Amino acid sequence: MHKLQTYIKRRLESEIYKRMSIFPAVLILGSRQCGKSTLVKMITAEREDYRCLDLQNIADLNKISEPQLFFEANKEKVICFDEIQQAPNLFSALRSEIDSDRRLGRFLLLGSASQELIQKSSETLAGRIGIVELSPFSIDELLLFEPQTDIKTYWNRGGYPDSFLAFNDEASTIWREDFIKTYVQRDIPQLGIQIPALQMRRFMTLCAHQTGQLLNSSKMGESFGIAHTTIRRYIDLLEQTFLVRVLMPYDHNEKKRLVKSPKMYIRDVGILHQLLQIKDYNDLLGNPVFGASWESLVVENICSIFSDCRFSFYRSASGDEMDLIIQKSNTIIAIECKASVAPQVTKGFWNVISSVLPQKTFIVAPIAGYYPIKENVFVSGLNEVIPLIHKEFYSGTSF
């Protein structure tokens, strides 16, 4: 695949515009290289009153050594601070500046670390800032741009723009390997966290082998040779930097005994495959992680697209399970992921439906189209399940 020069429209654009019309500042969170800077460039492309500083650049960082002087010199401009986590003390200066001039949409803040940023912004900019999260490409964005998008290429390379749009699989592999090296060698230390790069790389590989499984910190600690509390700290770090998604178990008042351990996923399947040295789709087909990889792809797409919903998984002590339970208001949708063109389900699948009582249940498989197998139970491809879920949650609105 040749790298495309045309901009692929991001679903989050409308949400950013909406928040810029409500708040003086908008914080766009997401992992490094997921497309935050490109998105903002497109939003501001026709604006002459736009100024952007990359705070990983020492020259740009020095420009805000006296933030009030910088704000005064750029008072009429829309100001973007990229990699805002590099200047955590800037938040208090931003609060003072916003309080003196509450013009809407004045600041765009981009960051690639989650919890600390939200904590600082909520402490100092409460009521002044809107927060959105940008993920790598989701399947709906790719299909909107190119209806004939090859799901196998997307599944193999993942959703990071430079990986998916690479010239060929080898170029995609090289990009993802460099991404991981930069993450462990530069990004983690820049957050002030001292973990040897080799140790973090090994830990990320361990997480890749465990993707889609219950998170057992004690067992992981034994195999890695460190305390379970350290394992949990590492997981939190990967979660806060958008490399890992932790999914909590379904919590409902029912008689069945449910597991309490969360599940863990490497969020981008391209990074998952690189950590496991899976080079192409044929390698993936013969790998034990094949089913977990498909589950990761489906779960991440749904969770990133329907981010205003509540997500969990169901697993009882007797072994009944469902990969994803989606809740919004009084509507519940159940998702089971099957990496097969002719998916089969067990008795436990039907037991979960009887317990949870979802309005719709989808078995998501690598197929095209969808078809019913029972009332309100469907087998569906990933391409088709997204608008079907949207219809259930937002009936009467187009997707």
Each residue's pLDDT tens digit, 76-96: 999 999 999 888 889 989 999
> What is the pLDDT at residue 165?
94
Asked if pLDDT for residue 39 goes beyond 90, the answer is yes
pLDDT confidence bin for 2, thresholds 50/70/90: very low
pTM: 0.93
3-state secondary structure of 286: coil
Residue-range domains of the chain with CATH: 13-133 (3.40.50.300), 139-393 (no CATH)
Which residue did the predictor score with more confidence, 3 or 359?
359
186-205 exposure pattern, b = at least 16 Cβ within 10 A, e = fewer:
ebbeebeeebeeeebbebbb
Give residue-wise pLDDT tens across range 236-279: 999 999 999 999 999 875 556 788 899 999 999 999 999 999 99
> What is the pLDDT at residue 395?
75
Residues forming beta bridges with residue 380, ordered by sequence position: 364, 370
Residues present in the chain in total: 399
Distance of alpha carbon 262 from alpha carbon 275, whole angstroms: 22
Residues forming beta bridges with residue 379, ordered by sequence position: 363, 371
**Section 295-315 average pLDDT:** 97
> What is the pLDDT at residue 256?
66
Asked if pLDDT for residue 123 goes beyond 90, the answer is no
Q: How far is CA 216 from the centre of its chain?
A: 22
Residue labelled with tokens 């935050």 = 36
Distance of alpha carbon 334 from alpha carbon 358, whole angstroms: 6
Q: What percent of the chain has pLDDT over 70?
A: 94
**Burial class of residue 117, CB neighbours in 10 A (0-12, 13-18, 19+):** buried
Q: Are 314 and 324 in contact (CB under 8 A)?
A: no
Distance of alpha carbon 96 from alpha carbon 89, whole angstroms: 12
